[in-house]
Structure formats: structure tokens, C-alpha cells
Amino acid sequence: MSLHYLTYDIPHRLSDKTHALAERYLDTEEIKNTLIDANFTLPESAPTLNQLFAQNIRLIVENAPLRILPEERLVGAATYLEGPAHRCPGHRFPAISHTTINFAKAVTVGLKGLQQEILVSLGQPDRTDEDKDFLNSLLSVIDSMRIWRDRLLAALPGSGPYADTLIALLKNVPENPPKTFYESLQSFWFHFEFQRLCGNWSGLGRIDQLWTPYLLNDLQAKRITLDEARELLAHFWIKGAEWKGVQRGSGDAQHYQNVILAGVDDNGVRDIDTTVAMLILEVVEELHIADYPIAVRVNSRTSEEMYRQIARVQRHGGGIVSIYNEDIVLKALQNFGYGGHAYAFTNDGCWETIIGGKSAFGYGPFDSLQLFQDALFGVSPEEREDASKWPQFTSIEELMDAWGQKLQAHVDNVNGWMPNYMNDPNNPALALSLLVDDCIAKARPYTRRGAKFTIFATHAGGLPDVANSLLAIDHFVFKTHALTLDELRRHMLDDWQNAEELRRSIASSIVYYGNDDSTADAMAKRVFDLYVKIASCKHDVAGVLRPVGISTFGRELEYAPKRLATAFGTHKGVLLAPNFSATPGTEKHGPTAVINSFCKNDYPSLSNGTPLDIKIHPSAIEGENGLQALVALLKTFVANGGSYLQVDVADAKILRDAQAHPENYANLSVRISGWSARFTTLNRDWQEMVIARTEHH
């Protein structure tokens, strides 16, 4: 079976052996069938909770099955089924995601360096017994990592043509800092797989910033060629598909393991050399593996060839590569107060921007459209049928004020429990805490404010639908008087029953957000600005940073049954706007108009970001002219001040055929939200959500 379903001219740069390994991972059940449930028994108690967790980790590494394939050029596998289920084997401690930990530090200092850092912290004169217990338990975790390394070393002899090379690698890394590009890949893979063995899902972060110096040194010393480096990166990407097909519902590959490429370095001094980034994009173009969604940081200095390579990958479908407008994101993070740390931004493994390796992150999603509909009726859902209790708004400003009061009450409620956030005494999170600054220095775990930045972001969904609702009410009720507000509310309660002609008129006779229309976009901006103002009322609460984002992450499915029919003419139960993208079906003038509408908002004020989702039919980007059109679309987004763009290329007819014949589309990938997934691993509701998105031709 082909690894693609949209095939333009794809260069064949990788060896046939590497292609065969990719087919083995993607097209058979063999790899998935090597995963098992954890088969060890965790002690019921230990002298301390930290020591119990440390014992748990030791049992994981002592008992995890080893999978070593002779064709692989990297070694180590996360073979417990608890991993893709996001559970810690042993079932005593929760796993952690929505973060990107400091893999770069782990690689560059080695286990010895981490051990030395812990010993220095242990030697501080003010250490309590609790501090010492935590730090000594971290030392135990490092010992467990060495046990896993030693098990791999013992199993490698005679395992295939790469066995001697891998043995030589593991004799240096991860114990010591790597000396070569190959060693840096193996060390990173070791640390990444160790976290996955423990059930944690971390983003990979800025891997090209880490790997590029090693590769450039090796190239200069003629220890490696670009072709050889590409082969090694391909093996890294192939092994990342080891959980293919295990996770269902919202798709396999939803493991929050995003990769960030390119942009200015962590010090804000110079742009990262793009040699590694280009090799990675070439690998993804050729193999079409979606398990590591990629976000490229683009800026005013990004080369034409980088834009073209991004576009070449994007037009093969799957939404695997997205872009951050680095200049806008940096402004947003610096406006929020991260200062020089902002240059190191990654994401939380999905798309929300954080400071990589230094952040304990969480977010609180809510449906702003539901709050708007509550404000519109002014009573509880149980009392909505009683029209005598409905408030009598006389202007759109009064209605916006009522919605704003609902927003403020929601934000105040969340702020009220911030003192208890990230203060979990029952989860030491040892494996993760080892690689998050400043857990070792503070002698405190990630789950108890050990990280340098503890963050809980407010995230609204449904804002474009609020804007469209306000636009419709302003036009049809307050300006043209086509119906009264009470009549409109009654139609919303009745789901437009016996009012189909009116519903169609409201839905189609004015222009809504997403069409580069000044009136519609001005309303969307008012909604955006009011939300950001209210949600940003406090920079931090009880030591917890409170940035602001806009997202749905597929929660359109969850929100739909709780919403009424809308004021802008959609029926109850219809899936509405994802993130801050246009409501499906309302954008009628193509992707450039969508971008222009989106970019009229003040994204430097949105400290946790939001994506624009665009779905393009493959016929629109065929050939050289199509490639240039896609590049122009990306550049327009950046030039107009957008923040983050997710482009998916998909054909609804192919998606429908994949529903009917999933066996023919095992590697058909689509963008979901902050992740990509193979379409056939989505349940029917998620599939329909993807298909329903407006397809631009």
C-alpha cells in the first residue's frame, strides 16, 4: 500500500530498506501486537510516596518487554499498552501530558550531569527531610534508567547489522553527553521513550536547535553525509509510529508529541541553521508519518525554500506541518511578561505556547456560545420557556454587556480555585520532574509548583459563533426589525420549527465572519477584544500565571448537544466553529478571505494563542502554480499578522470512501486540532467533524 493518498511528485531520497521499515510499522499489525499490559505488581506501600513511585519506575524498566528489530538504527521501545492509554504502568500514579520537558538538557549533560545536579541540590544546607526524600528518589529514577540501558545493551549482541554500532552508542549515551549527531539522536530517543514507558506524553520541543550543532560538526569532519543523516532521522520518525492504531476515538497520534522547528534561537540572537529542519521535512514528505505533528517557526527572515518545503509537505494532506508566526508569538509572550524566556517558546505538545522545559501547564476550556445563550435568555435553562422572565435588551451593546458579565463570572470562578492548582500531594511525578526546570533546584515535583512557570490558561470556544449571533441580532432585530428579539429567542428554543424560510434568510442574506467583510469582522474583533480584556483581568493568581487562549480541540462535539439553535440560523446539534476559525459553511470567498478576517485581531494580546484551521481541496494546489499559491497563502498569513496556521489538504470524497473501506486507507491522515490522526482511527463523530469543515477549492 502507498504511504500517501495524495501523490504529487515525491522525491525518493531514502533507501529501500528504510521504506521497507516504514511499511512494516504502518501497514501491519506486527508492531502493535508487541505491546502488552504491564504484568508486574506494585507494592501496596513504601516508607514514603516518593519511594513508592521510584519502585514503580524500577519495576517498569525491569519488566518492560524489549523490542529490537534488526532493521532499526535506533534502539528502545515503549512496549506497555498503558503508554498510548496515557497511564503509568502499575496503575497507582497518574501520567502527565500537555507539557514539553527539557530533553535538550537531558541529552547535553547526560545521566551523569543530571545526577550531579541532584547531588548539588541535596547538599544545600536548608534541605528538609521531605526535600531529601524527593531528591534521593530522583537519583533512584536515574538508576532505573541505567537498568533499562543495561538491558538494551545485553540484548543487542547478534540482533542485526546495526547491533555493534548501537552497542557503541549506548556505551556513551545517555550516560554522557553525545559526541556525534548519531549519539545525540539515540540519547534523545532513549529519554523520550523512557517518558513514554512511564505513561507521560511530552512534546519533543526544538529538536533541530539541539541536533544541528552535532550534525554540522560531523559534516565538517566528514563523519557523516546529509544522506546518512536523513536516513537516521527517518528511523527516528518511523519508530515514533510504534503506537499506530492503538488509540481510537479522537485518533491514534493524539499523544501531544509536537515538534518545533526553525526560528530564532533560545537566546534571541540568531536564527537556527535549517539543515536539520529541512532534512526532517524531507523525511515527512517522503514517508508521510503523522505521529509527530510539526510546527515551523517562520519570521521575516524565513527563506523561500523553507516556505516551499513546508508547502510541499502540506499538500500531501494530513495537516502534519503547521506554522507559527514567530514575531507575533514572541510579542504576545513578551507582552505577557516572559521576557527573554519567550525566545525559547515551544508548545505544550499540542499548540498552546509555553516556555519549553520550564513550564507546568494546564488550561480550562469553556463554551463562550453557551454563556452567550445564557445571557440572551437571562434565566436558567429550566426557566427558558417562560418568556416573561426574558430580559428586554434594546441594543447590541446591552447584550454584549450581559455576555461580558457571564464571562467575568466564569473567569472569577476559575481564579477562585487557583490556590489549589498544581498542588497534588499524591503524585510525585518523578520521571517528568527530572527534566523540568527548576524541580531539582527547588526540590519540588512538577505537580507541586516545582517548575519555573506554573500556568493555567483560560480557553474559550465558540467565539466566532458568538460574533455571528451578535451580528445577526444586530442586523435582523435592532436595525432592520425583521423580527423581534422575543420572536428570535422563541425560534431558537423551537429549533426554527415552522420557520425554515426565515432561518435560511438569516443564515444566508448577510455576510458572516470569515469572508473579509468589514462589518462582520468588526463584530468578531469586538468579541475577541472583550473576551481577552476580561480573561486577562489578572496576570497571575496565587503564583499561577493566567494567560489567555482560544480553542475547541474538537470540543465542538461536546458542546453541540448543550447549545440551542443559533441566532444566525443554524440548527441545534450542528457542529460550529473550531478554535477562532470561521463557522463551517459560513466562509464563502476562499482561504485568502478567511485569513484576512482572522488577521484583523490583536494576537499580540492573546498570550496563549489560537489557531486558524483551513481545509483545502487537493485540486486547488496541483502543480507548480498550486505550490506557489500555497506558499503565497502562508506568506499572506504571516504578513497580515496571524499567529498560528493549520492547513489540511483533504478531499471529502476520499474521506467518505475511507469510511466505507477503511482497509484501503490505513495511513490516511487528517488534522484534528493540535494533532494529526489517521482518519480510520477516528470514531464516526470525529470523522464527520473533519468532513464537515469547509473545503476550499
Q: Give the dihedral sign, CA 560/530/613/205.
A: negative
Q: What pLDDT digit, counting tens, does each position of 117-147 carry? A: 999 999 999 999 999 999 999 999 999 999 9
CA distance 166 to 183: 9
- pLDDT at residue number 4: 47
Nearest to 18 by CA among 290, 235, 278, 292: 235
DSSP H/E element including 167: helix 163-170
**295-317 per-position pLDDT tens digit:** 999 999 999 999 999 999 999 88
Q: What is the pLDDT of residues 11-26, one digit of tens each?
A: 899 999 999 999 999 9
Confidence of residue 593 (pLDDT cuts 50, 70, 90): very high
Measured CA to CA, the distance from residue 65 to residue 38 in angstroms comes to: 9
pLDDT mean over 530-536? 98
Among candidates 478, 481, 549, 538, which has minimal Cα distance to 337?
538
- Give the pLDDT band of residue 7 (cuts 50, 70, 90): low
pLDDT digits (tens, 9 = 90+) for 241-279: 999 988 877 877 779 999 999 999 999 999 999 999 999
The whole-number pLDDT of residue 675 equals 83
Average pLDDT over residues 332-342: 98
* Cα separations in angstroms, 21 against 73, 90, 465, 471, 625: 11, 32, 46, 54, 34
In sequence order, which ranges of 378-449 are alpha helices (DSSP H)?
396-416, 430-433, 439-442
Average pLDDT rounded to a whole number, residues 630-636: 97
Residue found by looking up cell 511525578 in the block: 429
Confidence of residue 376 (pLDDT cuts 50, 70, 90): very high
Over the stretch 200-216, which tens digit does the pLDDT of each residue have? 999 999 999 999 999 99
Q: Find out whether 434 and 491 touch, Cβ atoms under 8 Å.
A: no
- In this predicted model, which residue has the larger pLDDT, 251 or 499? 499
pTM to 2 decimals?
Answer: 0.96
3-state helix vs strand vs coil in the chain, percent to 5: 50, 10, 40
Q: What is the mean pLDDT of residues 407-423?
A: 96
